[in-house]
Amino acid sequence: MVGAVLVAGGEVLAEGWHPRAGAAHAERVALDRWPDPVPAEATLYITLEPCASTGRTPPCTDLILARGVRRVVYAAADEDARHRGRGPRQLREAGVEVVGGVLAGEARDLNLLFHFRAATGRALVAAKWAATLDGRTATRTGASRWITGETAREDVHRWRRYFPAIGAGAGTVMADDPQLTARLPGEPVHCPLRLIFDPSGRLAAHPDRHVFTDSFADRTVLLCREEAADRVLASLPGIRREILPAEGPDRDWLAGVLEAHEAPGLYLEGGARLHSDFLRRGLVDYLFAYRAPLLFLDEEAPGPASGLAPRTPAEGLRLRDVRQAALGEDQLVRGFLAPPPVTP
């Protein structure tokens, strides 16, 4: 998601944005919308450094120079080593004033998946949960609707709309029968790729769940072990399957599955067993933790995940690049997961 604004004398002359992969870049859209000569004092503001390479579109730097733009301000650098710095360097060598890194953190956050994949070469895996102040995600009876309020739940749907794939465990599908779709006011229902983790094939006995019967059933992929595959196929003949490794998912396997389904990001909605497994295996890169002003004060009430057992606070998982938001009476804390330091 890249935007560009052409400004002169404190007035916005034109703006543009990149609508989809392969379409014209934001700079080109903005400059095409200003057919007149670009004023000498004009500045082109861009959320991502301009490209200097030919891909599905021609280099933006060539157009910037051809149109006579004399000053460019960009926010985030391109994390891809093949492109990083080339565009700004070419513009500076041609005499254009270039300022980079303005609101870079905000711009990188706008494109979490793009920047993470460019930097690491793989999809971003995020876990999401909603909990009380004392860290409970449901009552001891399993009731969880609703811990957070409407504003926080709408925010979850916005992230479902952003991530190309959403993940859930068999227990969550059996207990809650979730739709796992993005339902935002004024927008059509959107269904990301739905990855359902069911190692033992328990859901073969529950073919009536939403994810198997709704109009987006072709967006559902069931992940089970080899020994459960035949039973799943017999019960859910129209549902796509992926075979889980016998020893459980690892980073290479998960990256391969997401790559095969052209999904540069996975939004895990739980439940606790799936979160715990992924966290123990080091498969979670990012966390969305919603917190409600609510207390259960019940040791029998479940939490969002378990199994790390640090001996000291320093051995726990800590978030970095943390962002916080107030969502009605609730809060969202999110950020990248930093692994604990290695101890002797």
- CB 310 within 8 Å of CB 204: no
Annotated catalytic, 27?
Answer: yes
Say how far apart CA 209 and CA 204 lie, in whole Å.
10
| Full 3-state SS string of the chain | CCEEEEEECCEEEEEEECCCCCCCCHHHHHHHCCCCCCCCCCEEEEEECCCCCCCCCCCHHHHHHHCCCCEEEEEECCCCCCCCCHHHHHHHHCCCEEECCCCHHHHHHHCHHHHHHHHHCCCEEEEEEEECCCCCCCCCCCCCCCCCCHHHHHHHHHHHHHCCEEEEEHHHHHHHCCCCCECCCCCCCECCEEEEECCCCHHHHCCCCHHHHCCCHHHEEEEECHHHHHHHHHHCCCCEEEECCCCCCCHHHHHHHHHHCCCCEEEECCCHHHHHHHHHCCCCCEEEEEECCCCCCCCCCCCCCCCCCCCCHHHCCEEEEEEEEEECCEEEEEEEEECCCCCC
Q: What are phi and psi of 55, to 5 degrees?
A: -125, -120
> Active site residue: 11, 27, 247, 262, which one?
27
Report phi then psi at 72, rounded to 5.
-130, 130
Q: CB count, 10 Å around CB of 37?
A: 9
| Cα–Cα distance for residue pair 209/174, rounded to 1 Å | 7
The CB-side HSE value for 166 (13 A sphere, CA atoms) comes to: 26
Q: Which residues are catalytically annotated?
A: 27
